[in-house]
Structure 1
């Protein structure tokens, strides 16, 4: 008799199929939800530049090339024009204040001086003659006055004696009035003589005073002309080094023309030119420093010039404290000009990555040093050496700081030796 055989539901093939499907779904779920799907790129670590984030002090500064100049440079102008007759010194020689440098000739000045001197002598002679004439006139006037006084006295005696005779009818009326008229006339003449003497003396003194004023003025002019002749000798206004002479023997020189300059070597200053981008952040008293022979020396801005040429403006800087020994005029110094005070900050060394990311992200190495992951960061201020890190990095982490142009914004970099 046939027997009904019951069909099995869970055959080994069926169980294997179900397990395969479950395993496939699990793997799919893992890859979708948990697997690392980030884009990667293999790079050689030897071609990269890496830097360590550190905790330190940040200070804004700009590098500036400064040139050493004498503390003071004096130009030498020709006060008077003329022709170079002698050169006593050449450029590059040390000079002391008052040393002659050039001698000019100017025949017109010499002739004018001689004419003025002749005029002065004539005026002095006229003054002396006027004083002598005044004195002689005084004697003559006194002599004439003495004569008139005697005549008046004699006429008065005659008149007084004839009064009584006239009253007693001893002399005629005509004769008496003749004596009286003689007496009155002589008195009038004496009065006129006194007034004349006073006028002549006053007039003579006025003429003498005018001559003396003219002589004083002429004397001043003569001294000025004499000084002008002395100015034909061009002398050093200060002690220092005669850096240049711009004329030669026989060269015509105009009044006011600069013929050279003297450098005051008693001290030095530094001249520098800055980009106009910093014009609002530069002021007198701002500090900087430079390194010379292994030692740092401070500088301070003493003068900021207002004019801007070719997008740059100049400043003068003075040495603070000791001037480096052996420094020379014309020497170039590499100066760190401070734009802010030092402050604590997280620091990242500068690199070419900034041009690729604008400081918005960077590749940060993991603890193994074999993988660098793209991470968002935020940078603040910067100087020629460091960026100030505001967010995204911690001291001790390593960052790839070389250019990212070849990485195509991959999420991770696999570093291979």
Structure 2
């Protein structure tokens, strides 16, 4: 008897065909997925830094390095060249004003002093001789004037007498005219003698004045030479600490050469180096802060040096309020210099991403936290810790702020947790 055999619905051939179709569809789907324009990269969340964007108080600051200096430094230069003969103190000594530091010798200057003293002595002697001669000449001229005046009086007496006698016809006209001529002659002689005496007096005064001026000039030159010789002993110009002393016994120092410096110990200032990029934004009264011994201190700019060296310029800052105890000359401070007032802003933590993106875009974490995708952003001002976000992010957004160096041109990061 024939038996009905049931037809199999899932044959091996059919199953293989269906499997092949599914695999092909998966392959096509995967191809479409991976060639759809988005390049993805799996990253371990433990190897990256994810930061949250927040809204908070913000102040634009820049980090600068400052060096502690004495509030006043006076440099010691050799006003006259010479050989170091004696050192009275050593580097680091606290000095009083006028206290000697070292002594130089200069034979040429010493010889010049002797010659100058001799010249002044000779001028003084010549001036005294000239004064004596002038006085004798004046006495002679005065004696001559006295003789002339006496002769004039006698000629006047004879003339007046002969005038009366001639009127009475006691004497002749010839005798009268002689007495008259003699009288007129004595009048003219007195005038001439008086003029000679006046001119002689003027000439004598001029000579004395010139001689005195020459003597005074020579005396001033002598005083200057004495001062130069005195400057061979280098003294402290103010109270302070002697530092950077560069002089050894027997060493020759040229005129104007730096010998050392005196640091005034009444206070300190800080000299900071700033990038030339900020020159137009730096001015007096800007403030900065720094940490010292777990305490914050404040500084204020009092002087801006516009000269640029190696793409940097300098500013001097003074302490505002309390000066840190134990601070020392030459100590380096890490200062945060404020370039703006404190305002509310959307803040993005600084990180290595900026080197690859230039602050133009960032990887933003999706809401489910499984991926991070590119978003364009606009950054504004900055501080040592944060960027100010102008566009592209809002408070609460999470972004990848670590370095993008290994991401290439990836469009999306697939965040994996181990």
Query: What's 2:417 paired with?
Result: 416
Superposition deviation, residue 380 in structure 1: 1.8
For the pair shown, the structure with the greater C-alpha radius of gyration is 1
Segment drifting more, 93-102 vs 185-194: 185-194
Superposition deviation, residue 295 in structure 1: 1.5
Equivalent residue of 2:308, what SS?
A: coil
Query: What's 1:19 paired with?
Result: none
Equivalent residue of 1:256, what SS?
A: coil
Q: Unaligned 5+ residue runs, structure 1?
A: 1-12, 14-23
Aligned length: 393
Give deviations 1:185-224, integer Å, cap 9, x for gaps. 5555545444443333333233222222222322322222
Query: What's 1:271 paired with?
Result: 271
Asked whether the equivalents of residues 364 and 375 of structure 1 are also in contact (C-alpha less than 8 Å), the reply is no
Looking at structure 1, the residues matched to 412 and 356 of structure 2 have their Cα atoms a distance apart, in angstroms, of: 14
Give deviations 1:236-289, integer Å, cap 9, x for gaps. 223222211223223333322222222223222222323334344433333221
TM-score by length of 1: 0.76
In the alignment, structure 1 residue 109 sits paired with structure 2 residue 112: no
Looking at structure 2, the residues matched to 324 and 280 of structure 1 have their Cα atoms a distance apart, in angstroms, of: 30
Cα separation, partners in 2 of 1:162 and 1:80, compared to 1, 3 Å:
same
Cα separation, partners in 2 of 1:139 and 1:296, compared to 1, 3 Å:
same
Query: What's 1:374 paired with?
Result: 373
Looking at structure 1, the residues matched to 273 and 203 of structure 2 have their Cα atoms a distance apart, in angstroms, of: 73
Superposition deviation, residue 106 in structure 1: 2.4
Superposition deviation, residue 92 in structure 1: 1.8
In the alignment, structure 1 residue 383 sits paired with structure 2 residue 383: yes
Cα separation, partners in 2 of 1:80 and 1:405, compared to 1, 3 Å:
closer
Query: What's 1:125 paired with?
Result: 125
Looking at structure 2, the residues matched to 266 and 388 of structure 1 have their Cα atoms a distance apart, in angstroms, of: 42
Equivalent residue of 1:306, what SS?
A: strand
Superposition deviation, residue 290 in structure 1: 1.0
Cα separation, partners in 2 of 1:316 and 1:194, compared to 1, 3 Å:
closer
Looking at structure 1, the residues matched to 415 and 165 of structure 2 have their Cα atoms a distance apart, in angstroms, of: 163
Looking at structure 2, the residues matched to 320 and 231 of structure 1 have their Cα atoms a distance apart, in angstroms, of: 40
Query: What's 1:244 paired with?
Result: 244
What is the Cα-based RMSD across aligned positions, in Å? Answer: 4.1
Looking at structure 1, the residues matched to 384 and 279 of structure 2 have their Cα atoms a distance apart, in angstroms, of: 18
Q: Unaligned 5+ residue runs, structure 2?
A: 1-8, 10-20
Query: What's 2:81 paired with?
Result: 81
Give deviations 1:98-140, integer Å, cap 9, x for gaps. 2222222223333333333333333333433444444444444
Asked whether the equivalents of residues 61 and 383 of structure 1 are also in contact (C-alpha less than 8 Å), the reply is yes
Looking at structure 1, the residues matched to 99 and 395 of structure 2 have their Cα atoms a distance apart, in angstroms, of: 66
Looking at structure 2, the residues matched to 149 and 173 of structure 1 have their Cα atoms a distance apart, in angstroms, of: 26
Asked whether the equivalents of residues 62 and 336 of structure 1 are also in contact (C-alpha less than 8 Å), the reply is yes
Aligned ranges 1:36-55 → 2 under 5 Å: 43-55=43-55
Query: What's 2:213 paired with?
Result: 213
Segment drifting more, 405-414 vs 283-292: 405-414
Query: What's 2:229 paired with?
Result: 229
Asked whether the equivalents of residues 379 and 387 of structure 1 are also in contact (C-alpha less than 8 Å), the reply is no
Query: What's 1:284 paired with?
Result: 284
Superposition deviation, residue 291 in structure 1: 0.9
Looking at structure 2, the residues matched to 90 and 356 of structure 1 have their Cα atoms a distance apart, in angstroms, of: 55
TM-score by length of 2: 0.76
Superposition deviation, residue 42 in structure 1: 5.8
Looking at structure 1, the residues matched to 413 and 191 of structure 2 have their Cα atoms a distance apart, in angstroms, of: 132
Give deviations 1:39-78, integer Å, cap 9, x for gaps. 8766544333333333312333222222212223222222
Cα separation, partners in 2 of 1:374 and 1:184, compared to 1, 3 Å:
closer
Equivalent residue of 1:308, what SS?
A: strand
Segment drifting more, 163-172 vs 90-99: 163-172
Looking at structure 2, the residues matched to 165 and 280 of structure 1 have their Cα atoms a distance apart, in angstroms, of: 110
Segment drifting more, 50-59 vs 392-401: 392-401
Query: What's 2:6 paired with?
Result: none
Query: What's 2:294 paired with?
Result: 294
Asked whether the equivalents of residues 80 and 232 of structure 2 are also in contact (C-alpha less than 8 Å), the reply is yes
Aligned ranges 1:148-163 → 2 under 5 Å: 148-158=148-158
Superposition deviation, residue 294 in structure 1: 1.3
Superposition deviation, residue 390 in structure 1: 4.5
Looking at structure 1, the residues matched to 407 and 163 of structure 2 have their Cα atoms a distance apart, in angstroms, of: 151
